[in-house]
Amino acid sequence: MVRAVIFDMGGVILTSPYAIWADYASECGLTLDDMRSQLRANETWHRFGSGLCTLEEVDAAFDVFSVAEVVRRTVEGLSVRPEMVEATRRIKANGLKIAGLTNDWPIPRVDRGVVIDWDAFVRSSEEGVSKPDARIYRVASERLAVEPEACVFLDDLHDNAEGARAVGMRAIHVTEAEGALAELSAMLGFPLG
């Protein structure tokens, strides 16, 4: 029985950053895949997402593009998906717990004017570990006081959804909001929109 739903932020509660990244990559003479490959292959990038180094340190680790510019454009360009915010409200109204679990950066928070009544919120930059490491999913379920097997996790990255499955959570790989919410609604047994 599902007792909690855990949401990623970028690409789930917020729009995906990848269109923003693709535009910047193109300006730098790269494809989005090139940029993402360079980021994934760089240990400093992973350390940055886990809050273990500064923006200045990670920016210095790249020469073809500026991570500071990637971060700036991402922060400025993301917007809220109202249908996902409404789903969090309906889930809470039906007596389930909700959490946010995000791989973020150690930068000042942006107020997007949306209030979600999270039961827990887990940031990679504060935990020193990021998805898809099993430890961060366990932190989220522990803060909710719900076993992983009673959680559903939504993320726009396949590897992150698989990381949740590896600790026993059900997972939905979000490629678009409508389909993800339909799948979640079927799991929960009540409408979300």
Q: What order do you get walking across the sheet with 170-173 strand by strand?
A: 120-123, 97-102, 4-7, 151-155, 170-173
Strands 120-123 and 4-7: unpaired
Instruction: Enter the tokens of residue 136.
Output: 């961060």
Question: For residue 80, what pLDDT is reported?
Answer: 95
CATH number of 4-15+80-188: 3.40.50.1000
Domain with CATH 3.40.50.1000 in the chain: 4-15+80-188
Work out the burial of residue 33: count CB atoms within 10 Å of its CB; fewer than 13 is exposed, 13-18 middle, 19 or more buried: exposed
Q: Tell me what pLDDT residue 109 has.
A: 83
Q: Which tokens go with 50?
A: 């886990």
Is residue 30 classed as helix, strand or coil in its secondary structure?
coil
Whole-number pLDDT of residue 112? 84
Consecutive 10-residue runs of the chain (193 residues): their mean pLDDT? 97 96 98 97 96 96 97 95 97 98 92 90 96 98 98 98 98 97 98 92
**DSSP per-residue string spanning 60-126:** HT-SSS-HHHHHHHHHHH--B-HHHHHHHHHHHHTT-EEEEEE---SS-----S-----SEEEEHHH
* Adjacent-strand bridge partners of 152: 5, 170
